Structure 1
């Protein structure tokens, strides 16, 4: 029988860290999805002289490692005198990082709608907004959803990097327990199981929605 010093208080401490992970993920996906939809739509409609600078900014957010963005943002807030918590910094930066990827998902979904379909909608008297609401967005959603689900899972794992700015999320909580108990294999296995239990329902929901749409085609 396995003997371990890992107790319920340690597991509850890790679950509390998991709650922080879920909270940051939720805020990042909310802000990132809203901004990503706006940026993605803008990149399909703006003239090149506005599209190019926006695309360059989003490229920077995608290219610079997220850890560097966290550390720089957390340092600059003190330099410029912004009174923001590390949790707020993490949510804001992860939202912007998420938006940079979500914008490409949205843009790809919109561009996947055939131009002939959009012309047909406009020939029937639909306005630009009606075309987006009734034709483009429903069709683009089917293309974008699998990638968006993948982005959710990726962002959930990326939250582990916020430990570098002093936030005790699941991975940091696990490290604290490991330091105290000196049982890394067991503790990290429990942490991995918690990550799986948080991620699996999201993945299954995406698969069910995608299957339902295919059945309705």
Structure 2
């Protein structure tokens, strides 16, 4: 997207530019959440049933959980550029943020599955359920209750961390705000507006998660 820099104040056309950035943020956060959650569920389950899988996935999970996201984005982007792999900023951001989401979600899923009482699993076996039936009808629903609140916290962190995708050229909401700050020098106004918009995105997610928590406990 081309944007003309001129020494002028804010204009009504800038609202469209910011709205476009906001839409990009929502698209990136949604895609990364879906990719990371699906990957995290698979990884978390594997880490509870196989020692080999637990050992093999430990470096991936430990590195992504420990290294700041901005460092991961910059290094991965540079590494892929050296290798000659081209990808749009959106897909690169989705993969990078999705990988982090899968690593942290895997630990939430693992902890949730391990919190299921052994007696419940034995009861399922006594009723004739196989491993996958027990996982689907017993362990996953109980793990969902345990892991819902931590997972929502991860989603909120992902929404805010999506602002870091600007370092790889993706024009999300924070990047579009920075572009307007550079042009207009309306720093306080634009940053307060950005903070308010992120609040408007995150607060409904947080409130709805509380509704879900009360619902699943019934």
Which structure 2 residues correspond to residues 1-217 of structure 1 after superposition, within 5 A? 5-46=9-50, 48-214=51-217, 216=218
Question: Structure 1 residue runs of 4+, over 2 Å off?
Answer: 5-8
CA shift for structure 1 position 211: 1.4
Q: Is the 8 A contact 2:46 2:53 kept in 1?
A: no
> C-alpha offsets along residues 112-168 of structure 1, whole Å, 9 cap, x if unaligned?
111111111111111111101111111110111111111111000001111111111
Q: Is the 8 A contact 2:70 2:164 kept in 1?
A: yes
Moved more, 77-86 or 32-41: 77-86
Q: Is the 8 A contact 1:74 1:86 kept in 2?
A: no
Q: Is the 8 A contact 1:77 1:84 kept in 2?
A: no
> C-alpha offsets along residues 75-124 of structure 1, whole Å, 9 cap, x if unaligned?
12222121212221111111111100000011111111111111111111
CA shift for structure 1 position 186: 0.9
Q: Is the 8 A contact 1:44 1:107 kept in 2?
A: yes
Gaps of 5+ in 2: 1-8
> C-alpha offsets along residues 31-87 of structure 1, whole Å, 9 cap, x if unaligned?
1001000000000001x2332121222111111211111111211222212121222
Gaps of 5+ in 1: none
Task: Calculate the TM-score normalised by the size of structure 2.
Answer: 0.92
> C-alpha offsets along residues 155-199 of structure 1, whole Å, 9 cap, x if unaligned?
000011111111111111111111222121111111111111111
How many residue pairs get aligned? The number is 210
SS of equivalent to 1:90: helix
SS of equivalent to 1:83: coil
* Distance of 2:60 and 2:184 partners within structure 1: 45
SS of equivalent to 1:88: helix
> C-alpha offsets along residues 1-46 of structure 1, whole Å, 9 cap, x if unaligned?
xxxx433322221121111111111111111001000000000001
Q: Is the 8 A contact 1:160 1:170 kept in 2?
A: yes
Task: Calculate the TM-score normalised by the size of structure 1.
Answer: 0.92
